[in-house]
Amino acid sequence: MQPIPGYKIYYRIRKFLVGRIIKECGEGVVVKDKAYFGSGNNLCVGSRTQLGQNCKFQGPVRLGNDVIMGPDSVLMGITHDVSRLDIPMNDPDLVPIEKEVVIGNDVWIGTKVVILPGVEIGSHSIVGAGAVVTKSFPEYAIIGGVPAKQIGSRLPTGEEQLTYG
């Protein structure tokens, strides 16, 4: 699907506005329509990164440089405290738990990906469409599935790759 005529103007306007809302905003950031980041005070976006159409960020999220994101992706850096059985989870007095999501440089996040609190995705990785990422992955990983697992590597065969437990 091609952008509408004059799309570059809309990208500049959105980037200008977003740059005044979020915690950190690099150069050349592209913000597609309907991106949601609440107050933005916990969102850091690296240079030349693209925030996908209808994406959603909550809690602390750090995106590296050159990240591209498909539409409808969700990055959640916040969760509920499920250890307190004496307080309902929807109680406004229950303090949410923040666990920063960190996305490295040069990462492709596919359409409708969900990345949960505390996850780190290493640089140069690919997260396939529809993946639900519940744990961290190393650099150069190709990630997919529900729950997500490493299904490949972008490294040439024979090169070493670090793995997370």
DSSP 52: P
Q: d(Cα 61, Cα 47) in Å, to the nearest integer?
A: 15
Indicate the residue type of 129: A
Rg over CA atoms, the chain: 17
What's the chain's length in residues?
165
Please state the separation of Cα 53 from the chain's center in Å.
13
Q: Is 124 a catalytic residue?
A: no
* Annotated active-site residue in 80, 81, 95, 145: 80
Closest by Cα among 22, 61, 67 to 48: 67
Q: Which two tokens stand for residue 36?
A: 């949601």
Sign of the four-CA dihedral 146, 148, 152, 158: negative
Residues recognised as catalytic? 80
